Structure 1
Amino acid sequence: MQSTVNMSIAERIRMLCSDTYSLAPSLLVSATYDGEKRVAVLKFYNPDDDMIHVWYDKTGHKPYCFAMDEQAVLDGIRDRKDILAIERVKKADLLNDREVDMLKIVATDPLAIGGTEKSVRNMLRTWESDIKYYENYLYDNGLVVGLYYSIEDGVLKRHEYRVAENVDLALKKLIWDSIADDKASSEEFRNYLQEWAKLLNQPIPEIKRVALDIEVVSEDDRIPDANRARNEVIAVAMVGSDDRHEIFLLNRKGNSIGSKDALDANVSVRFFDDERELLRSVFSRMLDYPFIITFNGDDFDLPYLYNRALNLGIPRDEIPIALQRDSATVKHGVHIDLYRTFTNRSIQIYAFSHKYSEYTLNAISEALINESKIKFEGSIGDLPLYELANYCYNDARITYRLTTFSNNLLMKLLIAVARIAKMPIEDLSRLGVSQWIRSMLYFEHRRRNALIPRKEELEQKGHASTTAVIKDKKYRGGFVVEPKPGVHFNVVVLDFASLYPSIIKVYNLSYETVRCVHEECKANIIPETEHWVCKKRKGITSLLIGSLRDLRVNYYKQLSKDKTLKAEDKELYSVISQALKVILNASYGVMGADIFPLYCLPVAEATAAIGRYIITSTIKKCKELGIEVIYGDTDSLFLKGPSREQIESIAKWARKELGVDLDLDKQYRYIALSERKKNYLGVLIDGNVDVKGLTGKKSHTPQFVRDAFYAVVDILSKVNTEQDFEYAREEIRRIIKDYASRLKNRKIPLEDLAFNVMVGKAPEDYKKTMPQHIRAAQLLQEHGKREVKAGDIISFVKTTTPPGVKPVELAKVDEIDVEKYIEYMRTTFDQILGALGYEFDVILGASKLEDFFFTN
């Protein structure tokens, strides 16, 4: 590659985006479509030169869809200039277990298929016309994002690295075990195990990247408009994986320079008198990195830089940023917006164990890396220059650290998920898990030359045969055992390992196998339903989810603990196991959601029904063995005082009779169950406290209630015997009385009384109902304090003044509605105290709440 020393930014962008004809093995990371050239474009990351290389399709692949009505096709589109060909093809129709003749409509560009009023899909009944073109390209060519490919004379060639011998032996053992355990284990299933392992075991390289954060002058503390970009960019910080830490600072007259002492010694500060030169320098530096990392860069940082550059007269070909409908990318590489990634519920819950509950940079950083944003008084534009530099640098630094903690866990996780989902990293880092599973299934349909069914075809499969317990659900969900309220000592929790994926595998559940077309299968009824399952063929979902489940439980979890493997190999297998956990745990929820493209109600209902059957059968077996079940929640059972032999006996029975694995999940010294489901407090054997669903734990709860709650939890963690409760009771009484008294006497600071709630959408978008935090947000805007947008956290207190709430910035201590806060304390503590046999009002020394306010 030629030297870039004397190149202009525009020339460098052109060079970095030029076609590649020869390339050493590199990781496929992204795919897109070039509208001018009318071809698919792939991006490969080369670990040797730390650059992304762009490859333009040379196979002549074109956009297409399918139709069945020949006359409608001929009458509607035959003479259109954007239709290149109409071909007769044969496709496998999995729904009806037959081969069908289809018409393949080939077009000049994706918009001819879908996206405009005159698109083919708006004129005909079509199949597969709502898939992004570059996804089609990947599926048709069997290209897997996250795998290695070399390029020779412009032609792609898949490259595979050899894995360690004992890793290969472990896979062979898994395959032989699957034959021994299940004589019906088909060769097809074993092939899936091998294929998955082959692609997942490929090494994951270190990714060169830079985190970027910008600061902009704001007026009246309002967030600047990224589309108009009228205000100056006053600072840009970039923190790179190559240890380059830079701040680009606008030298504004009237701002003091401040002290450089606050900045780390390794930070380079570059001052600019001209904002255009600052932006050009930032763009030039961005080109040194194949991956750009931001937090909310889709909505703010990148569109602001792009539009500000245009406003200042910088030509488009000197701007490395490209704006899309709802995201932003970089022409030469990949942009990952961590805000979009961390708001993914499956990432939040299954990858990071719900450690964060708010989606701000500060909340996520505090939870995952124990770092925070820097607080300051006043306006960002008034800060001394070095203080501004430090503030901006800190944001970029913690953004970068979110991709490096636990040895680059997040980056590795994204690559592992890309291999499973068959989806570009930029897409999967922004889209929910339902889109990952959709892409995985679509890829598999293409591999089999199978037609992807239309939604209404799946709707014709049938109705629900059970009645939903929860309002607005279309079928009956999982089984929850009623809790036995009170304190229970020596409690063991048994967890059904990957329950729903196991059910999907063992019972052969898939859209084409549930209520299949074969008469001879109709006797194979699913318990508690009117549905039956196919006995003649394995379902596509059953094979995919089942093989992934077996690999995670019986292969990767073991490999991640194998002491004979190198540390980096064990780490890779741990990451893969985590990626599989995210997808597997979400699979049932996705398939039970009617917005999922392959949603099939009988499948969702069958999965839930079998889950209930497994739980109730296991409870029945526990009773036979003399084990008391005190609670059960969807895929786990809480057992009181079982022996080791009893645990082993129930696990062995479940595996043999039900085809599912029961694992020992937790052991509690004691657990306090309230009457409400999914609400309990348990003290584990090691003294750690497990709090589920209780208000005092929730992030929006005021700090003073949380402090009181955790003070009580700390007392309970020290209880070892039933006799210890008497001392604990007195301590709890003292703590609650003390906090309530301070509240009554208005001795608690406003900020500790604040409810912190995230704004789900812009305040003006709330029409029918007006939640409390939105009322507070409106007061903020009315008083000109700041503009409020979706994603902001509103801190408000409950007041005796209309409308009953005020933002902390506008409230006074004497306006606090003490009675409402005492009521909130009661709601919080009754959940624990009820299970312990205490009463909140009795602890306060009042027979009823009103008495508390009229006693000294």
Structure 2
Amino acid sequence: MRSPLYSGRTLSDWFDHHTDLYRWKVVDHYVSRLRGSMQLLQQLDIVGRTSELARVFGIQFYHVLTRGSQYRVESMMLRLAKPLNYIAVSPSVEQRAQQRAPQCIPLVMEPESRFYSSCVLVLDFQSLYPSIVIAYNYCYSTCLGAVGSLGTPDEFKFGCTSLRVPVDLLHQLRDDVTISPNGVVYVKPTVRKGVMPSMLEEILKTRLMVKSSMKTYQQDKALLRLLHARQLGLKLIANVTFGYTAAGYSGRMPNVEVGDSIVHKARETLEGAIRMVNSTKKWGARVVYGDTDSLFVQLKGASKEQAFRIGSEMAEAVTATNPKPVTLKFEKVYLPCVLQTKKRYVGYMYETPEQKEPVFDAKGIETVRRDACPAVGKVLERSIKLLFETRDLSQVKGFVQRQLLKVLEGTASMQDLTFAKEYRGSGSYRPGACIPALELSRRMTAYDRRLEPRVGERVPYVIVFGSPGVPLIQLVRRPLDVLQDPSLRLNTTYYVTKQILPPLGRLLQLVGVDVLRWYQEIPRVQKASLWGPSEAGRRGTISQYFTSLHCPVCQQLTQLGVCAACRADPQRVAVTLNQDVRRWEAQQDQLLQVCRSCSGSAERQMSCVSLDCPVLYKLSRVGRQLSRGPYLRQLLEQF
């Protein structure tokens, strides 16, 4: 649903207008926005989902929205701990600071960065950290301390506090303990079931029960939405329980022994799976990347059907070597794919053997990131799809060069070249920070104090041409400034060389391509002087004194305004230029009609400033083309 957006200046003028019609327009605008906000809340089921999460976690409705994950974990954990007569430790900031540093990190292998034309399997351990806590009974309440500290008569360091374990108790439990890979001793569930394993086991079982209920009640949409919110809450709480034990900086009750034990055991489990996959000859497989709880396995020469069969065998074999509920799940097959670096990969995904059309699946690269302009993601995604589908680099080259030429000529949509970075508040940046969102916020606040963006809001901006040597931060402008000021022109060289080419180069260099050479082969768009800066003493950017050297009739390079070949046929020149002007005027009328139908206004000049609407950019582009009307009429007078 598209709705108009008006600036504060426009709304103020309407509200202060002497006729009631304009004041009613302001009221109608805010009522329509309020109605849209309510529809969004209803569509996203914010109230229902938050209520369900509050019921699952046992906390207040408002705290679901405002408090962090530690608050949720503790709420559930303490409800289990209290009947068992446990009291949660409340360490001070000093006690947290004195806790020793963690000694283990998750296993993240460096991938074999290249293009894979053969099948690559992705296998993933299901809820690995919660499963390890349950399988090995890791908990605050079951830990006896590190091996080096056992048997000492005095208390020894344990997390943020200390622990005393009698020697005779250790002697009695010598056959009922498990030792984690980092040398911390825990009792088995037969002696004492830990609070955290009990909580996580209940959570995972309940989630499975809820998901099976969702399959049963597919027709009841309201109940289905409620059950989905419930299983989502259970999934979130299970995944953050490890973080509760390992949050050494701002944790509520961190314990480095328990956190290290979980990470070390998870690492050992993943390494064992990698050894098994690499050493089993009948599969003919090789692990090319591993990340925390997942494996990427290459099968050379295997078909898609064989890949699914072997993947299922691998998952069953690895699961059988681990205690319940540690389970390796076969997720998907990539055919083909590119592994770029750690946590950055892209491929065509198949999830079932019967699936005919693959799904484009990307992680960590610019197609799924929001810190670049949309043009970067669009060019990169289309280039990858062309590479995967055709395996023809000449087609990829042709597409990339066409898109770069579009940007250089200024025909690409400004909407695709607009950045949007999060604003963190004026007090959250260090002094002298060159942050575009902060710079624009200062300019807007200097104009109107109420224009300061809200904390967390994304501030849109573009980069324009400026004088040589000007710092980049001074070339930052709001998109509306560029739309309203014809003298400003987007810095197309910056967008091409600093935004679009680097991610393309990082990916295509894996197949032996130099993207910079492709860019250097593009014919340059030449510019010639339109009027001199001395005329009327005007000042401004260098781009406002230049126009294209291309002939307006045949688009060939020329120094004469209209090329010599077209001058030989003056009738064609007159007809072509008149047709261009009439076409632009017709486009402008069509776009204005769209705006009037959206805003309900019959005015000639539209006041809408919605940067999410493509019509705004099309109107600006047509307006700039029509602004060439006097220049075209000058050419027509010569014929």
d(CA) in 2 for partners of 1:543, 1:582: 17
Partner of 2:596: none
Matches within 5 A, 1:102-113: none
Matches within 5 A, 1:788-807: 788-799=453-464, 800=466, 802-805=470-473, 806-807=476-477
The answer on 1:254 being equivalent to 2:17 is yes
Partner of 2:185: 532
1:701-744 CA-to-partner distances (Å, cap 9, x unmatched) read: 22332332333244346x1xxxx301xx2232122212222333
Matches within 5 A, 1:33-432: 254=17, 256-258=19-21, 384-405=22-43, 408=45, 410-432=46-68
Partner of 2:369: 698
Describe the SS at the equivalent of 2:187.
Answer: coil
* TM superposition shift of 1:575: 3.2
The answer on 1:649 being equivalent to 2:344 is no
Describe the SS at the equivalent of 2:120.
Answer: strand
* TM superposition shift of 1:615: 0.8
d(CA) in 2 for partners of 1:804, 1:253: 40
* TM superposition shift of 1:569: 5.2
Partner of 1:512: 141
Aligned length: 467
Residue number among 274, 280, 293 corresponding to 1:619 in the alignment: 274
> Could you list the runs of 5+ residues in structure 2 that have no partner in the other structure?
146-164, 300-305, 351-356, 528-556, 558-639
Structure 1 residues 575 and 696: CA distance shift in structure 2, 3 A: closer
Structure 1 residues 651 and 632: CA distance shift in structure 2, 3 A: same
- Bigger share in helix: 2
Residue number among 432, 449, 455 corresponding to 2:85 in the alignment: 449
Question: Counterpart amino acid of 1:703?
Answer: P
> Could you list the runs of 5+ residues in structure 1 that have no partner in the other structure?
1-214, 222-231, 235-250, 259-383, 465-473
Structure 1 residues 526 and 739: CA distance shift in structure 2, 3 A: farther
d(CA) in 1 for partners of 2:226, 2:445: 49
The answer on 1:777 being equivalent to 2:430 is no
* TM superposition shift of 1:566: 6.4
Partner of 1:826: 501
Kindly report the root-mean-square deviation, in angstroms, between the aligned alpha carbons of the 2 structures.
3.7
Greater relative contact order, per chain length (Cα 8 Å cut-off, separation 6+): 2
Question: Counterpart amino acid of 1:519?
Answer: L
C-alpha contact 1:746 1:813 (8 A) present in aligned 2: no
TM-score, normalisation: structure 2: 0.65
* TM superposition shift of 1:498: 0.8
* TM superposition shift of 1:838: 2.6
d(CA) in 2 for partners of 1:854, 1:216: 38
The answer on 1:544 being equivalent to 2:199 is yes
Describe the SS at the equivalent of 2:89.
Answer: coil
Question: Counterpart amino acid of 1:733?
Answer: K
Question: Counterpart amino acid of 1:533?
Answer: Y
Describe the SS at the equivalent of 2:124.
Answer: strand
* TM superposition shift of 1:493: 1.5
Matches within 5 A, 1:558-597: 558-562=212-216, 572-594=226-248, 595-597=250-252
Structure 1 residues 423 and 454: CA distance shift in structure 2, 3 A: same
Residue number among 79, 87, 107 corresponding to 1:479 in the alignment: 107
Describe the SS at the equivalent of 2:186.
Answer: coil
C-alpha contact 1:522 1:532 (8 A) present in aligned 2: no
* TM superposition shift of 1:803: 3.6
Question: Counterpart amino acid of 2:36?
Answer: I
Structure 1 residues 818 and 592: CA distance shift in structure 2, 3 A: same
d(CA) in 1 for partners of 2:346, 2:91: 44
Question: Counterpart amino acid of 2:120?
Answer: V
Q: Which piece of structure 1 moves more, 660-669 or 808-817?
A: 808-817
1:122-145 CA-to-partner distances (Å, cap 9, x unmatched) read: xxxxxxxxxxxxxxxxxxxxxxxx
* TM superposition shift of 1:766: 3.7
d(CA) in 2 for partners of 1:619, 1:220: 63
Structure 1 residues 829 and 450: CA distance shift in structure 2, 3 A: same
1:471-501 CA-to-partner distances (Å, cap 9, x unmatched) read: xxx4432211321222223222112111111
Describe the SS at the equivalent of 2:119.
Answer: strand
d(CA) in 2 for partners of 1:753, 1:563: 45
Partner of 2:535: none
d(CA) in 1 for partners of 2:35, 2:233: 25
d(CA) in 1 for partners of 2:452, 2:511: 46
* TM superposition shift of 1:621: 0.9
Question: Counterpart amino acid of 1:513?
Answer: T
Partner of 2:329: 663
Question: Counterpart amino acid of 1:463?
Answer: R
C-alpha contact 1:668 1:684 (8 A) present in aligned 2: yes
* TM superposition shift of 1:602: 1.4
Structure 1 residues 634 and 813: CA distance shift in structure 2, 3 A: farther
Give percent identity, aligned residues only.
17
d(CA) in 2 for partners of 1:697, 1:711: 13
Structure 1 residues 681 and 638: CA distance shift in structure 2, 3 A: same
d(CA) in 2 for partners of 1:704, 1:528: 48
1:353-394 CA-to-partner distances (Å, cap 9, x unmatched) read: xxxxxxxxxxxxxxxxxxxxxxxxxxxxxxx34543443234
C-alpha contact 2:53 2:229 (8 A) present in aligned 1: no
Residue number among 246, 253, 259 corresponding to 1:604 in the alignment: 259
d(CA) in 2 for partners of 1:621, 1:405: 47
* TM superposition shift of 1:460: 10
Structure 1 residues 798 and 589: CA distance shift in structure 2, 3 A: farther
d(CA) in 2 for partners of 1:419, 1:670: 44
Structure 1 residues 566 and 750: CA distance shift in structure 2, 3 A: closer
d(CA) in 2 for partners of 1:564, 1:220: 48
Question: Counterpart amino acid of 2:124?
Answer: D
* TM superposition shift of 1:519: 2.8
C-alpha contact 1:670 1:683 (8 A) present in aligned 2: yes
* TM superposition shift of 1:547: 2.0
1:536-592 CA-to-partner distances (Å, cap 9, x unmatched) read: 31221121122212332x433333223799666555443322221122222223332
Partner of 1:737: 401
Partner of 2:575: none
Describe the SS at the equivalent of 2:287.
Answer: strand
* TM superposition shift of 1:647: 2.9
* TM superposition shift of 1:451: 1.6
C-alpha contact 2:407 2:492 (8 A) present in aligned 1: no
Structure 1 residues 460 and 496: CA distance shift in structure 2, 3 A: same
- Bigger share in strand: 1
d(CA) in 1 for partners of 2:495, 2:7: 40
C-alpha contact 2:348 2:358 (8 A) present in aligned 1: yes
C-alpha contact 1:673 1:835 (8 A) present in aligned 2: no
d(CA) in 1 for partners of 2:367, 2:310: 36
Structure 1 residues 563 and 452: CA distance shift in structure 2, 3 A: closer
Structure 1 residues 519 and 399: CA distance shift in structure 2, 3 A: farther
Describe the SS at the equivalent of 1:639.
Answer: strand
Partner of 2:604: none
Question: Counterpart amino acid of 2:186?
Answer: V
d(CA) in 2 for partners of 1:614, 1:404: 43
TM-score, normalisation: structure 1: 0.49
Partner of 1:640: 298
C-alpha contact 1:496 1:661 (8 A) present in aligned 2: yes
C-alpha contact 1:438 1:598 (8 A) present in aligned 2: no
